[in-house]
Copies of this chain bind each other. A is one copy, B any other.
Amino acid sequence: MSRFVKIELAEITNLSVKILSQAGYGDAHAHVIAKMLYTCQIDDCHSHGLFRLFMCCQTMQAGKIDGQVLPIINNSDNAIVHADARGGMSPLAVDSAIPKLIEKTRKHGIAALAVNRCFHFSALWPEVERLAGAGLAAMAMVPSHAWVAPVGGSRGSLGTNPLAFSWPRQGKEPFTFDFATSGFARGEIELYKRAGKLLPAGVAIDKNGNPTTDPSAALDGAMLTFGGHKGSALSIMIELLAGPLIDDLTSLESMEFAAGRGGAPYHGQIIIAFDPNLFSGGRVVDNGARAERLFADIIDQGARLPSQRRYAARARNLARGYVEIPQPLHLDLLALL
């Protein structure tokens, strides 16, 4: 068992900014990325918290990212916000575009943010939860690299292609989920590898297309989608909506672009937002109560809503003022400085 190190909340951000700045990220990027890592780390979402600083540094080392470039947010009169990340990390582009997305959603009832030409490493739930914080429902999708085989296939064609969704709840944390359409998230497999643990059966094939539980063989082979042909179909939908729909790369093309160099994948992202007020004809309170009744019925039978563990961790960490991370991770992070 590895020992854990306490990191004060402010130190999550300070350490992140320091590492990111030293790696070559300009102030605007470093602060928005640090905020994203903080948001994940205080929820004990280890795979997308401070751990992702390694990927941020590797992305810079791979030599294709621009650490200084500022995104350009377009100003159309339709319901699409186009954010051109211009070869930078995605969080700054999303952060800059979200106010416009909120404005367009409140005007049109439904609107979308298409982020182009971004490197992407982050969880999607902080972005959809931010929209839920503005009273909107939201869905987000990204491709990644062609690490995942379609159902019935033998090699990677699809990304891990996460789907995130958030629904605003009056006086409560939103109903949120964020799951990879691969059986496992890529980041989870990397954590298994770091921990020297075997994967469960049925989540990966090796480079010859045979089932494997070895995380290294899985990283060299391909992952499988969750839920058989349904998960595979959903993953293809995400490729299409977050790729060709918005004039950006598929996971196959993103992997080719990377040309074997590590770091974050380069592609697009789509976020779709819904205004419950315009959709329901102003009956937000009644319909919120209707949703709460569904949630209560689920909880009443002993089932859990997604994200409850994350919200509990957040409450605990905010109350005690620190998070705990494995000591080896902390040492590796300090070695980045």
Residues of chain A at the chain B interface (Cβ within 8 Å): 76, 78-80, 82, 107-112, 114, 137, 139, 149-155, 157, 163, 165, 167, 175, 177, 179, 181, 226-234, 236-237, 239-241, 243-247, 249-250, 252-253, 272, 274, 276, 278-281, 283, 286-288, 290-291, 293-294, 297-298, 301-306
Contact = CB atoms under 8 A, between A and B. Distances in A.
A245 B137 contact: yes
A152 B287 contact: no
Contacts of A82: 281
Nearest to A177: B233
Given A137-B241, A240-B167, A229 B306 contact: yes
Contact of A279 (B114, B150, B228, B230): B114
Considering residues A111, A229, A286, A297, which has the most beta carbons from chain B within 10 angstroms of its beta carbon?
A: A297
Interface of A is mostly: mixed
A33 to B, nearest CB: 27
B230 A303 contact: no
Given A151-B303, A236-B306, A244-B287, 6 more contacts: A80-B108, A150-B301, A167-B237, A229-B306, A236-B298, A239-B294
Given A78-B278, A227-B227, A237-B165, A302 B245 contact: no
A253 B286 CA distance: 13
A157 B296 CA distance: 10
Given A226-B227, A298-B153, A287 B110 contact: no
Nearest to A155: B301
B279 A80 contact: yes
B302 A153 contact: yes
B245 A152 contact: no
Contacts of A112: 109-110, 274, 279
A280 B155 CA distance: 29
Contacts of A232: 303
B244 A280 contact: yes
Nearest to A251: B294
A293 B241 contact: no
Nearest to A227: B227
A181 B234 CA distance: 11
A245 B281 CA distance: 10
A331 B56 CA distance: 66
Contacts of A274: 112, 241, 245
Given A114-B279, A167-B240, A227-B227, A287 B247 contact: yes
A303 B156 CA distance: 12
A230 B226 contact: yes
